[in-house]
Amino acid sequence: MKTTSFILDLNKAGIKDIEKVGGKNASLGEMLQNLSQIGIKIPNGFIITVDAYREFVRFNKLDKQIHKIINEINFDEIESLRRGGLAARQLLKNSKLPKELSQEIINKYYELSKSYNQDMTDVAVRSSATAEDLPNASFAGQQETYLNVRGPAQLMNAVRNCFASIFTDRAISYRQSFGYDHFKVGLSVCVQKMVRSDLGSSGVAFSIDTESGFKDVVVINGSYGLGEMIVQGSVSPDEFIVFKPALKKGFNSIIEKKLGVKDIMMVYGDDPDERVKVIPVEKSLQNRYCLKDEKIVQLADWVMKIEEYYSKVKGSWCPMDVEWAEDGLSKELFVVQARPETIHSQKNFTEIIEYNLENSEVFEKILKGIAVGDKIGAGKASILFSLDKRVSDGHEFNEGDVLVTDMTDPDWEPIMKKASAIITNKGGRTCHAAIVARELGVPAIVGCGNATELIENGQEITVSCCHGDEGIVYNGILNYKTTTTDISQFPKIKTSVMLNVASPNLAFRFSHLPNCGVGLAREEFIINNYIQAHPLALLKHKDIGDIELSDAINKMIHGFENEEDFFIQKLSYGIAKIAAAFYPNKVIVRFSDFKSNEYYNLLGGKYFEPNEENPMIGWRGASRYYSAEYYEAFGLECKAIKNVREVLGLKNVVVMIPFCRTVDELKKVYSVMEAYGLKRGENELEVFLMAEIPSNVILASEFAKYIDGFSIGSNDLTQLTLGLDRDSSLVAHIYNERNEAVKQMIKMLLNTAKICNVKVGICGQGPSDFPDFAQFLVESGIDSISVTPDSLLKTLKAIAEIEKSANIASSN
């Protein structure tokens, strides 16, 4: 028997060899040949080809037996699938490789060991099927991988087990679902030098946002030890997001860092019979990020270059799913696998489907976790801890049930296909449950912590992933509606329409909407949701003597150098995600505009806030920034803006000052900003002013000398023009942004601004709620209108009508 076609050096394979070496191995070989030369490190190895697998099956005369087993499976019954899969695997595991092939594999293993100056090196033995990593289906995790394999005996066992894994239950089910012929699919095996990530860290990286399909970021998940823990969902990994356009310009553009729950790790076993084992992670390591910033940037750069290379080879955009490992001995990064991403690269972004819950505020929120997808699902909870035994009465998992479990692995896929939604205690965005949920289009919430304890078996629940990164489980079946919008049908207009974006977690999804940037991003929303503590409480809690407050803050700042670093970085991340989503368009970020009663409700706020009779017209906006009491806290906001623009490279951020009563106040705010490194005009920094107080309109010509633009805050302008408290139900019937007095104020501002050659936009709620108000603004010569995303379509239609009637030619 000639074995020349059975063994191939990894660096001799390429994309053209998928039918010979499988998708995974073809990709590894392609990268070794073409990307090693630009510094991307990939461990070397060799491939046992599909021809070797077919020879193994022929040599042991297994064809007819396997055909019989597969043909007898009833794919509607999980037990039948499991029995058939087990029988097929046992056939292959109990068979022998031809002697010549075995010897050739062993010789190649010794050759690989010698190249690493070892007698018997540690290797990973990875399965690679010919029907995986294809553009229309990932087949991720369908076959097996064996880690820390050392010596000929372990190697030959691992190879046989890899051959057998072509008939895992999930692989059989998956092929059946996608219509692949079980007997035309071949399997190849890669024997690759191990990276000692058991002493370092490992994970997965995508060259695309896995939830929204936003193209301009690299999303990295990582944890300590060997990477199986992340794939299995046994840990909730750290998450890092890097902005590609700024990275290309040389900025360390890490726009998000989230600390995961990394309480266990997989390492090498202590004896030959225990190749790997799971151990606890030291508490001090759990509270640190698994990768340092320089490694995050290096890895993101590699992922970006891998995407660029494969896109060039393919001839069209090809986002990538990359597995990486950091060697704890050499401290070097390695790429150990790369495949095309198969979900969002297939998505049609001209159509937007929005899911909205009705009356969700009256329903009990049971728990929260990491949202996968943006859909809503509902049904009866079915709690499973294993495929063999269910909690409670032992009924079968029914079509439309909500699967609630600790975590899933590929064997669960036949059940996951029947679920209306999936909830897991463990896992992150790149765990098995998340990957399969995306492929199936099923809403999932992972990393919930204790879902199996808080949810009762048979309980009716609703799983909502329409809130951004955070998924929420509600008690009961909630009504919801879907809205489908074809972006290509949006009317083209001349007036600039921007978006009001409150949540950084939704920014990537909104980036696909037609827009001219962001007219209002509120810092207070980011502070309230990302930080949750009063800035002065962070800076001064040690002097207060409140032990509970200090304990809460000390837990908050895990992963950060100190309290100040925590505030600056977290605020930076929130701003940066919005700025990145709409880059290079302007993103106008308003400095914090909490009222004293709102600041009071932040953690530790009671120690620093006065009790005002009417906070709405009290100590807010500009008057805070230069005050002795708040000066230092405002400085943190300035440092965050400086970090976003100058370190992360997002110079499209424009700052806006709210509730500034006098020109003298504006000058005082500028003085504080400059003390903290922000000066209007330097590094292209623009400063806008909220026009929301009558004095802003009356003295517009004076204010205009010191700013780059006005943004009308119609909510406060209405309140102060009409002399009413917009929070008071007693006078709510008088509140009307379309009142003639308010409209006259707006016209006065627009006329003055035009004389002063200063741009005017509006970011209040009025244009979103009332299309006729948007029409009034267009007729009055507004430069830009900023609306909430859910109001975009009706606003565009209203503006298109008024432009048409006024014979305003479209510039688009």
- Helix, strand or coil, per DSSP, at residue 399: coil
Q: How far is CA 177 from the centre of its chain?
A: 28
- Can you tell me the distance from the alpha carbon of 484 to that of 348, in angstroms, rounded to the nearest whole number? 12
Instruction: Dump the DSSP string for 326-376.
Output: E-TTT--EEEEEEEE--SGGG--TTEEEEEEESSGGGSPEEEEEEEESS-E
Q: Partners of 188 in the beta sheet? A: 128
Q: Partners of 655 in the beta sheet? A: 589, 687
Q: Give which of 240, 243, 286, 279 is closest to 261, Cα–Cα.
A: 286
| HSE value, Cβ hemisphere, 13 Å, CA-based, for 482 | 9
Q: Partners of 205 in the beta sheet? A: 220, 322
Give exposure, 211-241, as e/b (b: 16+ Cβ within 10 Å).
bbbbbbbbbbbbbbbbbebbbbbbbbbbbbb
Q: Beta strands 254-258 and 264-271: pairing type?
A: unpaired
- Rg, Å, the chain Cα set: 30
Residue 512 is among the residues annotated as catalytic for this protein: no
CB atoms within 10 A of CB 324: 27
Catalytic residue among 344, 432, 534, 541: 432
- Helix, strand or coil, per DSSP, at residue 134: strand
- Can you tell me the distance from the alpha carbon of 579 to that of 587, in angstroms, rounded to the nearest whole number? 6
Residue 290 is among the residues annotated as catalytic for this protein: no
Q: Is 331 exposed, middle or buried (0-12, 13-18, 19+ CB in 10 A)?
A: exposed
- Can you tell me the distance from the alpha carbon of 30 to that of 12, in angstroms, rounded to the nearest whole number? 8
Q: Give which of 208, 201, 216, 172 is closest to 72, Cα–Cα.
A: 172
Cα distances (Å, whole numbers) of residue 397 to 76, 196, 434, 441, 562? 12, 41, 20, 19, 48
- Map 718-781 to HEC letters: HHHHHCCCCCCHHHCCCCCCCCHHHHHHHHHHHHHHHHHCCEEEECCCHHHHCHHHHHHHHHCC
DSSP-derived letter for residue 121 is: -
Catalytic residue among 448, 466, 660, 763: 763
Q: Are 687 and 674 in contact (CB under 8 A)?
A: no
Q: Which residues are catalytic?
A: 432, 763
